[in-house]
Amino acid sequence: MILNTVSKPIHFINFMNKQLYRYIRLACLVVYIFPTSSQAQSIQHAALTYYSDTHNNAEMGLLYTYEHSPQAVIQEHGRGINEMQFQANAFHLLSKNSRLWGDVSYANACTRDVQGSENSDYDLVYPYVVSDQVGGNMKSETYIFNSGYAWHHQKWTFGGTIGYRALLAYRDIDPRPKNTVGHLKGSISAAYSVSSSHLWSIHLGGEKYKQESVISFVNPHKTVLLYHDTGLGTVYSRFTGNGSDTDISGQFYQFSMAYYPKTNNGFGGQTDWNIGKLEKKLNGFNELPLNDLAINNIQCVAYYTQQRLTHDWKIQGTWRTKLRKGTENIFGTEATTTYEKISSRQYYNQDIHSATIEGQYKWNKTRKNQYEISPKVSWISNKQIHKRDHRKLNYTWFRASMLAETHFAFKTSTLHLALGGQVQWATSTLCTFDIKNHPTLNRNHIMNAGSQQVLTLAIRYDTPWLIDHKQIYIKGSYKQGSYAQSLDTHRGSCGLGLIF
């Protein structure tokens, strides 16, 4: 059948056009416009993923990313990156009533000039990290595997996912951290069809996390002090310069409930609750438990969507609350390397609240050229306090963004363009201590208290590859940011891949 189709040009073009339209939606998912956004995404229910596509699709490709900035926006994130990544994903219809999907990736990266943290996954484990006043480039390798399965029977749909992330990060100048991360995730979900147009879905998930960090010195006469940070510039002074090897481990639990419109028409909503606890232990001191960090995240989403023959539109409101509570353990008199825990104090608090309203409008759906705009506005409040030293650091931000996309369909290929812009400014700030005495924290404060503008451009071109009748894609993106103190950052990426 395929050989006969190829021999007839008109049939071949029709065949390829059908395939191209099938992959337009996939192309939209691949282009990621704001990779550094701090906004959390909704929990994905495996039972609802069953309805995400009606065709088999798969792709694999390479992506190269480069950024070299004169100064970091967030010191712990570094001021640039040089990364090569391989990624592959697939969605497969096993039968009329079952779906299987998954993705794998490998990334080899060098993050330039990381300051203020020897640990990896800073956004997850802060404030209880090991730090120094030297910093440097961090090299890393990341392996990710995710898989999911869903099965439909009568009015019920059941699904489950499993995923694992392994990370090795290290630095080759003193001090030399070597971080090994293992992050296991799993979930189950069930959805019930309450009508021909809507589903109720429940999701239960769990995560197991562990990070082992070993810091060594090639120079035996080390002069660099290592600090155990406890938030807002405070440190565990008793262990300063000692106990550089640490473990951070913990568990997370998720509960989510969703009301989902199968036809993308009508009201929908979702509530996510994610709770967890991380514990930092000091190796070499009888695995001394230094700190506990309790994390409690809640997100509520409500939306209304309409899908028509020539146009679609959607409006959505989101409320997010992220709470972090840190506890420091207090120990008695030193007895060799064994310490007796005599008390604990809950000193560190961080409360983040945000409200977002966003919309989406698509038109010209039945024509070759399609267009889409997505405006968004957010209010964000971030309050931190360390009770022991009576320190407070508060921000309130307002953020607005706009994303415009267009799809051009040619005879045998498609072109996807996206242009995005984002502005953010602090409407209020409060700092009750002399932050200038803490260089890393002060540099972050200058960036957070100033205005920010980000411009992004993304492009993707899909075209047939006559060998085995597959498709290839080429994509690229550029991101330019403007921050306080006239800091301009530039980040670019390019990639190519194969669509099956």
pLDDT for res 88: 97
pLDDT for res 337: 56
Spatial CA neighbour of 273 closest among 257, 249, 251? 257
What are the boundaries of each domain within the chain?
A: 2-499
pLDDT for res 40: 52
Fold of 2-499: Porin (2.40.160)
pLDDT for res 41: 74
pLDDT for res 237: 86
Q: How many residues does the chain have?
A: 500
Task: Mention every residue, 6+ apart, whose C-beta is less than 8 A from residue 36.
Answer: none
pLDDT for res 5: 37
The answer for 286, left when phi > 0, alpha when psi is -120 to 50, beta otherwise, is: left
> Edge to edge, what strands does the sheet with 130-131 contain?
130-131, 227-231, 234-235
Q: Where are the beta strands (DSSP E) in 332-451?
A: 341-363, 369-386, 391-409, 414-431
pLDDT for res 38: 36
Q: Please give the average pLDDT of every successive group of 10 residues along the chain, which has 500 residues.
A: 39 41 36 36 92 92 96 95 97 95 98 96 96 94 98 96 98 94 98 94 98 90 86 90 86 97 93 97 83 98 93 97 96 69 93 98 86 97 96 98 95 95 97 95 96 97 82 96 95 95
